[in-house]
């Protein structure tokens, strides 16, 4: 613990901009925080709408949305690790939308 006497001896322990208040109830939020939350909510809604659009496009084509009809999932390669291509967990490797919908 830091006592007041220590703060007088060690003034560098005082943090000027270290306090961050995270409100737990919406009625205690400031206007700027409410605007930020609205921005986050709109971003999440956009992301969900984009995902639903992707799923509906894959449904029209009859392909699995997770692997886009390939039947396997490819992970990005880099110089430090090598990952094999794995069977898609969504469609169990078939690449069909009907199988993906069953697994959901």
Question: What's the pLDDT score for residue 60?
Answer: 95
The pLDDT score that the predictor gives to residue 17 is 47
The answer as to whether 43 is a domain residue is no
The pLDDT value recorded for residue 43 is 86
The one-digit pLDDT tens for each residue of the chain (104 residues) are 444 444 445 454 445 544 455 555 555 556 666 566 677 888 889 999 999 999 999 999 999 999 999 998 877 776 676 666 688 988 999 999 999 999 88
Which residue range is the domain that position 98 belongs to?
63-104
pLDDT given at position 3: 46
How many domains is the chain built from? 1
Determine the Cα–Cα distance for residues 62 and 95; give it in Å rounded to an integer.
8
Output the 3-class SS for 9-23: HCHHHCCCCCCCCCC
In a domain, 11, yes or no: no
In angstroms, the Cα distances linking 27 to 23, 31, 32, 64 are 9, 10, 13, 43
Dihedral over alpha carbons 92, 98, 100, 104 (to 10 degrees): -130
Q: Which residue bears the tokens 């997770």? A: 66
What is the per-residue pLDDT for 28? 56
On whether residue 103 sits in a domain, the answer given is yes
On whether residue 25 sits in a domain, the answer given is no
User: What is the reported pLDDT for 2?
Assistant: 47
Q: Is residue 99 part of a domain?
A: yes
Q: Residue 86 pairs with which residues in a beta bridge? A: 73
């Amino acid at each position: 613990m830091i006592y007041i006497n220590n703060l007088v001896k060690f003034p560098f322990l005082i943090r000027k901009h270290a306090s961050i208040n995270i409100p737990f109830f919406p009625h205690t939020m400031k206007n700027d925080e409410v605007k930020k939350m609205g921005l986050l909510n709109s971003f999440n809604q956009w992301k969900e709408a984009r995902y639903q659009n992707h799923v509906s496009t894959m449904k029209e084509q009859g392909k699995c949305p997770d692997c886009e009809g390939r039947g396997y999932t490819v992970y990005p390669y880099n110089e430090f690790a090598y990952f094999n291509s794995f069977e898609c967990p969504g469609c169990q490797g078939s690449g069909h939308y009907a199988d993906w919908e069953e697994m959901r």
